[in-house]
Each structure stands twice: as C-alpha cells, then as structure tokens.
A = this chain, B = another copy of it.
Amino acid sequence: MKEKILDYLKKEQEYLSGDEIAARLGISRQGLWKHIQDLKDLGYDIVAVPHLGYRFLSSPDRLFAIEIAHGLNTKFIARKIHYFDYLVSTMDLAMQLGMQSAPHGTVVLAESQTKGRGRLGRSWFSPKYKGIYLSLILRPKILPSASPILTLLSAVSICETIKKVVGLDAQIKWPNDIFICNKKVAGILTEMNAEVDKVNFVVIGIGLNVNNDKKSLIAQATSLKEQAGQPVSRIILLQELLRRMESNYFLLEDKGAQAIIDKWRNFSLTLGRRVKIYCQDKHIEGHAVDIDRDGALLVRKDSGLMQKIFSGDVMHLR
C-alpha cells in the first residue's frame, strides 16, 4: 500500500486531497494518514496542508526496494529485492537465500556492510549510504568452468552504467576491478554453489564507491562523486546497473560469451599492456594479449611463450 500511495503522489507532484487518495486506493483517511506518517519516518518529504492535502517533495537517499522497483522495467533482475540498513555481508545472505531456492534475479542490498567481502578473502570497505553494495543471485544453465563470463558481464555492465549515468569513462582491470583515472571505484566478487558438472546458482557481488568523500578513501581508491565533482543519485545509478546486467545477460544467452568478451575488450585497462601477475607463490611477467572465452588472460612472456592465466593479481607496468 505504501508503494501505491507513493506512486500516486509522485505521479501528480501537486497537492492531492486526502479524501481523494483514500477513496482511490480504497483505504480510510485514518489509514492513509498512518501510512504517510510511516513514509515520513522513512525519510520521505511529504507535506500536508489543511484543505489542500498531501504533496510529494522528495525521496530520501535510501535504496529502498520500493524506490528501486519504481519504473525499473526489468524482466527478472530485481523482481525480488531484499533490503537492509546493514548486513555483515550481502554475499553471505545471498548465498544463504540461494540455498533456500531464491529465484533467478533476486537482489540483496545493504546500506552498509560490517564485513563486506572481496576476492580471495579480502574486505570491501562499505560505509553507510555512500556506496552500492549488492549481491545478485543468478541461476544460469552453465558448467562451473564457464562462470568467469559472469564476472566479465558484470564489469561491462558497471562501465556502461557509469558512462550513461555519470558520463565518465571507467575501465576494467582484469579480472574484476573497475577503475577511473587509474583509481579503483568498484569491485566484483563472483561466487557459486555448484555440483561438479552443474551450477546450482551464482551470486555476483558488486561494491561501488558512489558518494564517498575523497578524505575517506585510500590513495588508490576513488568514488564517482570525487570523479564527477558532485554527488550522484545512488537510486538512478543502481536502476541503470540492474537494467544493464539484465540486457547483457540476455545478450549472453542469445549471442554467447563472445558478444560479452567483445564489449569487455573495449573497456579493458589490462589488454595491450605489460603486466606482472602474482598468482599463488610465483609471478609471471609479459604482455597481456587477450582474454579467451573462459575469461582467462592470455599473456605472452618474453620467451615468446603464450600463457593462459585463470587467476591472479595484476600489476600494470609502464
């Protein structure tokens, strides 16, 4: 009902009499008043003027499911949203929900994380209301070995979203980091629950620095606000990201991995550069030539030997 009241008020942007709204929505004046109070408690700015009625002014800077779902128009992504003021980690909850049969496209959102997770057991700094911290549950019909394509797909979607909403050029550092002006703005963590020959579900975690102030960021990190010089609406950004994830997912289904990889190459910060890659206890140095359809990086070593690298930390050399 709150969603309906909000939809109604947002659509008109004028004073609407309480009697009219209540009648339209089939609730009592008293019931309406209670819902409006609840919305105000959530941070919605709604003015009430005697004899004129209610008028919607603004939404709070919160990623409420009703805000994200409003006008989203996706087919399966974010049709179900789990929203929290804080979580230990959106990944942990999403993995749990996946095991409890949460549908394809389910999204877990948190305004902050007390132990946000990154790749290989690292942490993701998740200050409250500053970023987008989301986990997306997908149920693709793929082999476990094909799962890296979903990390590439997510990276492409993030870059496209930043370009569209903020107008900035973001680039992808293989395998899973998004950079603007050589500073990290987002990270992706892809986890799966699988049989040896069948993925049960995949959870894609995205951490994106949006309105973090420069002083709260380490030197190697940045935020969209810092890069754009002004705050960015997290709601508009998240909605665009969810739409892009969905359209790229359909692209993957229709045209296959190569279509995603072609897009990925255009955003790559790594290809064509001299790189040093730390994997396990050793490192490999060479020229990053391409990625293959498994998402592995192909590096030509100085000996001329081509090496396929599935995992590692990349250092870009001059």
Contacts of A200 in B (CB 8 A): 191
Contacts of A45 in B (CB 8 A): none
A197 and B144: CB pair below 8 A?
A: no
Q: Is A260 an interface residue (CB 8 A)?
A: no
Q: Is A193 an interface residue (CB 8 A)?
A: yes
Q: Is A110 an interface residue (CB 8 A)?
A: no
A191 and B191: CB pair below 8 A?
A: no
Against B, the Cβ 8 Å flags (1 = close, 0 = not) of A142-156 are 011101101100000
Contacts of A175 in B (CB 8 A): 196-197
A145 and B148: CB pair below 8 A?
A: no
A120 and B191: CB pair below 8 A?
A: no
Contacts of A99 in B (CB 8 A): 92, 95-96
Say how far A157's CB is from chain B's closest CB, in angstroms: 16
B196 and A190: CB pair below 8 A?
A: yes
Looking at A148, A194, A295, the one whose CB has the most chain B CB atoms below 10 A away is A194
Residue of B nearest to A100 (CB): B92
Alpha-carbon separation in the docked complex, A105 to B144 (Å): 23
B311 and A143: CB pair below 8 A?
A: yes
* 28 pairs, CB–CB < 8 Å, chain A vs chain B: A95-B99, A95-B193, A96-B96, A96-B99, A119-B195, A120-B198, A143-B310, A143-B311, A144-B145, A144-B194, A145-B145, A147-B196, A148-B196, A148-B197, A150-B196, A175-B196, A175-B197, A189-B195, A191-B193, A191-B194, A192-B192, A192-B195, A193-B193, A194-B194, A196-B295, A196-B311, A197-B310, A197-B311
Contacts A96-B99, A175-B197 known; list 12 others, CB within 8 Å: A143-B311, A144-B147, A144-B194, A175-B196, A190-B196, A191-B193, A191-B194, A192-B194, A192-B195, A193-B193, A196-B311, A197-B311
List A residues at the B interface (Cβ < 8 Å).
92, 95-96, 99, 119-120, 143-145, 147-148, 150-151, 175, 189-198, 200, 295, 310-311
